[in-house]
Chain A
C-alpha cells in the first residue's frame, strides 16, 4: 500500500504511534480498509469523516476494543500486539470514549481506578487512597467537583466527562484518544476541554481527536487525517488547508493541493 509520506514530521522525533495498512471487516463490509496514520509526541491529530467513515472503528482497533484483521501497529517504533484494552493501556494508550464508558452505579474514584484498583497491604480495595487521588486529579480538571460519594449517573454531563478524562490521564498516558470529547458538552465545558488538550499537548502527550465538528478540530489540531468509506482520503497540516477544502475531503473525497492524498482520494 501507499506508504504515507507525511512530508516532514512536526518534530524531529519518530512517531509515537503508527498504524500501517490496517483493515477490519464486519460481515464482509470493510469498515476500515488499508488505512495508515501516525501521531507524534506533543501533537494533536484530528480524525475527520462522516458517520460511518470508519474513524471510530479505526480508533477502537488502537484502543484494543477490536482486533484488526490486517495491518501493523507500532508504538515508539516498536511493533506491538493490541488485542484487548488491557494491552493498549500497557502501551500507554488511553481512550475517552464517546459514550464515556463509565460504570454508572459506582462513584468517581471507582470509575477512575476501574481495572487498576489501589489495594491495601491485605489485598483489599483501598478506597480512601483512591478517593484521595481522585480528588487530586479531579481538582485539576474540575476544581468545583465535590460529589465523590455519589454514583456517576447522578452527575452532570460535564462532570461525567471530567471523570472519563481523569481516568484516561491519571495513569501516565502517552497517547490519548478522544472520541467526540465535546459532543455532550455546553460551550463553557467545551472550552475547558480545549484548555486541557493544550495543556496535555505541552506535556508531550500525543492526542487523537475524533470529531465531526470541523471547527473544534481546526481550533485544536496540528494535523488532520480524513476518512471516507473506510479509506484514508488524505492527510494535511491544518495550516496548509482551509475549512472548505477539508469539507471537500470529507464529503467528496477530493484532496486539495495542500494535502497528501491517501488511497481513498477521489479521482
Chain B
C-alpha cells in the first residue's frame, strides 16, 4: 500500500540527449526525476486519499494535515541522521534513549538551573537550552561513534548498550521525577498555536523557498552549460520549477487555512485592546516552528550529504569501506562524525518533543529508534549501505505518521496500529528489493 510504484520505467541513461520523440518515458527521462521518489510520493497520495475516503473527509483537512506535520517533525529530524548512519553500514538503536536523556538535561537546565541564574522567562533561556541539548546529544553520539570506530565494537552492540545506558541516565538526572513546565519561549519549539508563525511569515518563508529553489536550479544549469555538459531541456527545467513552486504554495495554503481557536483569537485581540464586538477575524496558524526546524534540518543534512567532502566520504564508505580506506579517507573519523551528528539531531528532537509535551519525562522518546529506523528504510535507505536520501527518509517519516494518524481517526486500537506499521515496513522493503532487482 505505501510503497514505491515500480511501473515507471527507470531512467537508465540520464546522459542521453533529450528525446524529441513523443513518449511519456522520454519525457520522464528528460525531467531526470528520481522514480523511487515519485513512487514514494504516489504511495503517500494513496495513503492520504484512502484515509480521507475512509474517514469521510476528516483526513485531508488543514487541521489534520497541520497536526500531522507537527507530529512528524521530531522523527523526521532524527531520520535525516539515521540515513547517514545506515549508509555507512551501521545502525543506531540508541536514538530514542539519547532523546530521553538530553530531554531531561534541557528540562532541568531551563526549569531549575537557569531560573536560579537569571530568573524565569529570560529571553536567552531557550537558546541556551537548545545549544545544550545539541551539544550533549552530539557528545553522547560522538562517544558511541568513537567506541565503534576506534575500539571496533559493532554499532549494533554499542548502540544497543546505549539504548539501556542513556535511558537509565535519563532517569538518573532527576531520579525519575518529571520536570514541568517548560520555559515560555522554549515551548514554541513544540508547535501548538504559540508555536506557529502566522499567515504573513508563512508566505514569506514559502516565497523565499521558491526563490532559493529556482536560483539553485538555474545556477546548476549555468555551471553545467558552462562546462559544455548535457543539460535538461528548458521545458523540463520549467516543469520541475513549477512542481516545486506548486508544492510549496500548496503547503502554505494548507497551513494558512487552519485557524487559531476562537478563545485564543479573542484573548489576543483583548490583549491588544481591540474590541471583539464586531465578530472575530480569521487568524491562521501558518507553519509550525517544529516543522520549519525539521525542514531546515532536512535541507542542511541534504547539503552536507551532497555538497561536502564529509557527505561524499559517508557514501563512499558505505559503497566500499576498503576502497574508502585505500583512497586515504580517515574512515574512523568520519564514523565518529556521523554518530556525533546523529546524537546532535537527537538533542534537537529532544527539544521539539519536550517542548511539545511541555514536560521532560524520562520515558520521552521510548521506541523512537524503531520509528526513526523504519522511516529511513521506508524512505529507501538500503541496509546494505551506500544508498539513501534525506528527502526519502523524511517522506518515510511522513508516511508512517500518516498511517498512524489515519488509524487514530478511524478509531483503530493502538496494538492494531503497530501491526499495520510493522507490516508496511516489511512490505516496503520487499517492494524496494524488487525495484532494485528490476534496475539491474
Contacts and interface: CB of A to CB of B under 8 A. Distances in A.
Contacts of B320: 101-105
Contacts of A63: 326
Given A95-B326, A115-B327, A106 B229 contact: no
B291 to A, nearest CB: 27
Interface in A54-108: 63, 65, 84-86, 89, 95, 97, 99-106
B327 A114 contact: yes
Contacts of A216: none
A125 interface: yes
A116 B309 CA distance: 9
A162 to B, nearest CB: 16
A218 interface: no
A132 B226 CA distance: 10
A123 B318 CA distance: 23
Interface string A105-132: 1100010001111010001110011011
Contact of B223 (A103, A105, A124, A128): A128
A101 B386 contact: no
B323 A128 contact: no
Given A114-B316, A117-B312, A124-B307, A84 B15 contact: no
Contact of B328 (A85, A105, A129): A85
Query: Could you say which of B309, B324, B328 has the most chain A C-beta atoms within 10 Å of its C-beta?
Result: B328
A86 B330 CA distance: 10
A149 interface: yes
A117 B328 contact: no
B272 interface: no
B227 A131 contact: yes
B318 to A, nearest CB: 7
Q: Give the size category of A's interface with B.
A: 35 or more
A22 B320 CA distance: 29
A154 B387 CA distance: 14
Nearest to A101: B323
A144 interface: no
A132 B315 contact: no
Interface string B317-337: 011101111111100000000
Contacts of B224: 128
Nearest to A167: B327
Contacts of B386: 103-105
Given A105-B315, A105-B319, A149 B325 contact: no
A111 B358 CA distance: 48
Interface string B335-375: 00000000000000000000000000000000000000000
Given A119-B309, A125-B312, A105 B323 contact: no
A146 interface: yes
Interface string A140-164: 0000001111110000000000000
Contacts of A65: 325-326
A129 B387 CA distance: 24
B329 A114 contact: yes
Given A101-B322, A102-B323, A125 B15 contact: no
Contacts of A147: 13, 15
A146 B326 contact: no
Interface of B: 13-15, 223-224, 226-227, 229, 306-309, 311-312, 315-316, 318-320, 322-329, 386-387
